[in-house]
Chains A and B, each alone.
Chain A
Amino acid sequence: MPANTLNDMILGYAVILGILLIYVITLIIRTHKAKAQRKNALSQDRVNAINVLEDT
């Protein structure tokens, strides 16, 4: 008769899937932030370039 360890198995899989899910979410959030930062930096670059052209 196998030991009754069903709850331990559920806990194990909850922890494994939970950690993976949290990591994937942090990866998505960081990627979105970096994309937004890059977009802002690019638009700021354009503004600076226009200002330089207007000055000359």
Chain B
Amino acid sequence: MKILLLVAALFAAPLLAHPAAAVEPGEILKDPALEARARAISKELRCLVCQNQSIDDSDATLARDLRIVVRERLTAGDTDSETVAFIVDRYGDFVLLRPPFKASTLILWIGPALILVAGIAGVFVWHRRRRSAVAAPVAPLTADEQARIDALLSRDAER
């Protein structure tokens, strides 16, 4: 029983662990509401040095600088979207971990849905064809074919 509990605890441990953020104590804003907004925005912004981490996760100096910029904008009274726009203005849409929905990203957004629909349609068509193939009435043998079968069968029987 004790071992079971231990195993359960081992498996549960990663769930309890908080992902380590790179935010340093000196960066944290005094206003908890503002800090929470800064954290939320930082999680959506790509670190351009590491490219697969958010600036909230990254220890790169540029990520740190951008976290500070985000906090400065918020402290200056910018809304969340104004703050994000400030960064996008300088680094482009690539800085957004969640790409915006617009003409140039249309394939990115609707591509998977299109492939899914095409797949479903394909399976549907295949299924229908197979069913109609099974259901199709079998043409009766002609007299000629029947005679050949009889001949083959009688030859086997003679051996």
Q: Are A and B subunits of one complex?
A: no
* B residues apposed to A, CB below 8 Å: none
* A residues apposed to B, CB below 8 Å: none
